[in-house]
A and B are shown apart, each in its own frame.
Chain A
Amino acid sequence: MKTISIDHLARVEGNGGISATIDGRVVTEVKFTVNEGPRLIERLTVGKTPEEDVSIAPRICAICTLSHKNAVLRAMENALGVKVPAKVTLLRELMHMGEFIESHSLHVFYLALPDYVDFPNAIAMASKFPFEVKIALEMKQFGNHIMKVLSGRYIHGENPVIGGFGKYPSRDELIWIKNRAVQFMPFVFRTVDLFCGLEYPTIPEEETVYACCEPGDGKYGLWGDEIILSTGEKIARDDYKRLTNEFFVPHSFCKRSRYKGNTYSVGALARVNVLGERLEDEAGKMFKKYFNARWKKNPLYHNAAQALEILYAFERIPELADEVLRHPEDPALVPYKSKNGKGTGLVEAPRGLLIHHYEITDGVVANVDIITPTAQNAEEIERYCYIAAQKLLDEGQEDKIRDRMDLVVRAFDPCISCSVHMAEVKKAPAQDWKTKLARLLKANPVFIGVGKEGRSDDRAGLELALEMRKAGVKDVYLETELDEGHILERFSGRPLLFLDIANMGEKPGKIALLPLQHVFWNSVLSHRLLPGLSNKLTYEEVRRSFILAIQPKSVEGGDELSLPVRQAIDQILRETIG
């Protein structure tokens, strides 16, 4: 089996796209691609001093630069045993609030809102919503200003360093920030009403698992030393790999994550779903006013959750400023001596859980692991896009697929904010399954016939398997033989090709080759495969495996296969036996 070391990753974000391939009434493929080239950040940070890595690592992403800064600092300070003064921690949180305001307001107003009011971009939108566009701009500017004051510049500021800051902001600056935050409140409420009150489409809606930092003390917050899941489970910071379980897909340089084999969501919606009950003051009131069960399954509510967090940040800023002003004597920088250690830093970036992990040996960085929120959301983005595409297709709204996928990807606010303009719907070429099957056959798959006797077309998978076996095809099994032969264990590492019928809403006899995970995401496709398999296969195996599906004519009693299904079986046999 191919082993891929998962301690290193290159970056995410910048330039990417989403595509769905449609064959008749079936979505045969959904791919979220990151077109960015590989930067090998986790490699080039190795061998440098911790100070240099604090400078380099945030260059992963300009949009979350300060989240990366806070994450690398928390990790380094954990590793080197540095305890920073209270004023430093407070100012870092203030800086983080600045980034949240900047990032969230950019996203909800400029990237997301034009879709809901039907404009190609925010500049064009200004003709109809001049007030929103103008004030949102000022709000974003205010976020940028905080970032600049605390970090030294708008993007990639170097003022936050291990042990504190190069320089503290002046008292006057803090007072200005505090007063300015209060002035924005009327517009902030308007923002919450606008985005929490938007009519979000019901497609796609499906339960999922949400993950974020546990801020501790029963508070809402943007960093912590533990991860908390919507299932109630908690994971200590150094055990983060239990959550992320990273792996690669061949269509992206960005690693993917799954928890216990399933996709999960991080981001504003995850935070509000997991921690929303803890919101206090006005944000707490607004949460109670708007939160409902749909937030738990519809990714489009990311926008609403971000608006709530804008309010949270605006309420937090004056508190933080006051608190900072109470600590005038704290030193800006505490020195440290340690040259060895291991540490993890967990931070909530605007778009979700961000993890930095470093090992330092003899004063230089020996090992680096960085897991970005977009990398964790990538699988979830594919899943929700698939659900949306298939559902719309089922409802005969094929023309809406492109825009809806756009909406879904953008709601996750991937750092590749730009990618979302590149949603693409591809028509599968005629006989698409044949080309794909030929490719798959080269990878030496194990065939598994699935079906049930006595329900007419339902036995097609079994029939197909038996005829293949008769024709001398190797490694063909029936589903009933799986357990006795320990087939899955014996062939682990090889792709599995399930032969089955699937209700794709197509003409009887239609053949399609579908990724196995579509079956897990869409129970309509195969009632039979679901229960047993998902526990037995790792997600890498799921990723590699396919189902060769035939549209049945009938599954009502009787042993006879329908004519179209019979013809389909013959067609497949021609392709496999040659």
Chain B
Amino acid sequence: MEKEKLKIGIYELTGCAGDALLIVDCEEELMNIFKAADIESFLMAKSDNRNGELDVALVEGSVSTEKEKEELLDIRRRSKVVVAIGNCACVGGIQAAFLDKKDWEKNFKKVYGTIAFTHTKPAQSKPIDAYIRVDHYLPGCPIGKEQFLSTFARMVGGNPPELYRFPVCVECKWHENDCLLNKDIPCLGPLTLAGCGSVCPDHNIPCFGCWGPTEEANLTSEYHLLLDKGFDLEMIKKRMANYSGTRIAEFFAQFRKEKR
């Protein structure tokens, strides 16, 4: 007997749409994706979208408006499993680099002045787990093709995703790159989740941290190491915050305390 297909929805909140695009970029596998599961909703790829019960919801993007928050809550209610896909959904993305609400408000005013928006209320960008329970996280900026396909296939087969939990350095060494940190280049590899295939160090370019921090990212050590190498304190903080979203806000709060 044919197994009943999983009902899957793919949703985009605020972000660059890179994760959805990457799924579209799966090209020959795209047909298999549509065959293996019932894709109930995928705005970028199809126009007959439904908003019913789902087995799995893949959510891209950060929550940056009130409307998105409501949409997200609705997705959670309708879905058995919610997977955050991409840096914005997992940790908040580059737009979550404003560390506190005041800072964000100040910058929002600088851009939009006092204009009253009629379509929706803006909100400081947050990862989706600020509002809902998230079952799995698929990191990346954007997510990796292989990792996505294998995760998708595992979920269709009824298995949870199996992802790398270690930092970029491991893959970087698999590829036999010479360590950039040792050449005094500010590489964030040790702090950043692997899965990208250490693509930047492979191209002699330091890791910018775009897959977000690992569970055990040793921010203190890397921070002092970069200070030791003569980098400017503010520059290090900013660099580390670029793709770390709200997750490392606490770390910086601790520095502020120290300063006082």
Of the A-B pairs whose beta carbons lie under 8 Å apart in the complex, a sample of 30, sorted by A's number, is A4-B113, A5-B111, A15-B12, A15-B13, A37-B120, A37-B122, A38-B95, A39-B14, A39-B125, A41-B94, A43-B111, A44-B107, A55-B208, A61-B16, A62-B16, A62-B18, A65-B18, A123-B45, A123-B46, A140-B25, A140-B27, A152-B205, A154-B25, A156-B210, A158-B200, A165-B203, A167-B204, A248-B112, A253-B112, A422-B43
| List of A residues within 8 angstroms of B20 by Cβ | 418
Task: Say if the beta carbon of B234 comes within 8 Å of chain A.
Answer: yes
Given A37-B123, A47-B238, does the pair A251, B117 have CB atoms closer than 8 Å? Answer: yes
- A122 nearest in chain B by CB position: B45
Number of residues from B at the complex interface, CB < 8 A: 71
Closest Cβ–Cβ distance, residue B65 to chain A (whole Å): 4
Query: Smallest Cβ distance from A73 to chain B, in angstroms?
Result: 13
Interface pick from A6-14, A181-189, A338-346 = A6-14
B115 to chain A, nearest CB (A): 5
A571 at the interface (CB under 8 A from B): no
* Contact A40 B204, beta carbon cutoff 8 Å: no
Q: Given contacts A49-B235, A156-B142, A253-B117, are A418 and B65 in contact (CB under 8 A)?
A: no
CB-CB under 8 A from A38, the residues of chain B are 14, 64-65, 95, 108, 111-112, 122
Query: What per-residue 1/0 map shows which CB atoms of B28-49 lie under 8 Å from chain A?
Result: 1011001000000001111111
A564 touches B (CB below 8 Å): no
Query: Do the beta carbons of A44 and B239 come within 8 Å of each other?
Result: no
A554 an interface residue at 8 Å Cβ cutoff? no
Q: How far is the CB of A257 from chain B (nearest CB, A)?
A: 16
- By a beta-carbon cutoff of 8 Å, the part of chain A in contact with chain B is 2-5, 8-11, 13-15, 33, 35-44, 47-49, 52, 55-56, 59-63, 65, 106, 110, 114, 120-123, 126, 137, 140-141, 144, 152-159, 161, 165-167, 248, 250-253, 364, 415-418, 421-422
Q: Is the CB of B15 within 8 A of A14?
A: yes
| Chain B residues within an 8 Å CB radius of A14 | 12, 14-17, 61
Please report the C-alpha to C-alpha distance between residue A41 and residue B111 in the assembled complex, in whole angstroms: 10
Interchain CB contact under 8 A, B110 and A421 = no
Give bound CA distance, A134 to B168, whole Å.
36
Q: A38-B64, A157-B199 known; A55 and B238 CB under 8 Å?
A: no
B118 part of interface (Cβ distance < 8 Å) = yes
Nearest residue in A to B28 (C-beta to C-beta)?
A137
Please pick, from A43, A248, A418, the residue contacting B12 in the complex, using a CB distance under 8 A: A418
| Contacting residue for A43 out of B28, B44, B45, B110, CB 8 A | B110
Can you list, as one digit per residue, whether each of B1-22 has a CB less than 8 Å from chain A (1) or not (0)? 0000000000011111111111
Q: Once the chains are docked, how many angstroms separate the CA of A3 from the CA of B109?
A: 12
Most buried by B among A4, A55, A121, A154: A55
List B residues 195-251 near A (Cβ within 8 Å): 196, 199-200, 202-205, 208, 210, 234-235, 238-239, 242
- CB-CB under 8 A from B152, the residues of chain A are none
Q: B238 to A39, Cβ gap below 8 A?
A: no
- With most chain A CB atoms within 10 A of its CB, the pick from B49, B65, B68, B95 is B95
Contacts of A43 in B (CB 8 A): 98, 107, 110-111
Contacts of A253 in B (CB 8 A): 112, 117, 122
For the complex, what is the distance from the CA of A167 to the CA of B199, rounded to whole Å? 11
A56 to B19, alpha carbons, bound, how many Å? 16
Report Cα–Cα, A43/B107, bound state, in Å: 6
- Contacting residues, chain A, for B63 (C-beta < 8 A): 37
A55 / chain B contacts, CB cutoff of 8 Å: 208, 210, 242
Does B85 belong to the interface (CB within 8 Å)?
no
Verify if B259 is at the interface (C-beta below 8 Å from A): no
Q: Can you add 18 more A-B contacts, CB < 8 Å, to A37-B68, A49-B235, A137-B27?
A: A2-B115, A13-B16, A35-B119, A37-B13, A37-B63, A43-B111, A44-B95, A61-B17, A62-B19, A62-B21, A152-B199, A153-B199, A155-B21, A155-B22, A158-B199, A248-B113, A251-B117, A251-B118
Instruction: Write the chain B residue with the least CB distance to A415.
Output: B17
- In the bound complex, do residue A37 and residue B125 qualify as a contact, i.e. CB atoms below 8 Å apart? yes
| Shortest Cβ gap from A163 to chain B (Å) | 12
- The 10 A-B pairs of least Cβ separation, nearest first, read A37-B64, A62-B18, A166-B203, A418-B43, A39-B95, A37-B14, A121-B46, A4-B113, A43-B107, A166-B205
Query: For residue B44, which residue of chain A has the nearest CB?
Result: A418
B61 adjacent to A121 (CB under 8 Å): no
Complex CA gap A114/B46 in Å reads: 10
Residue picked from B46, B67, B108, B145, most chain A C-beta under 10 Å: B46
Alpha-carbon gap, A290 to B222, bound state (A)? 60
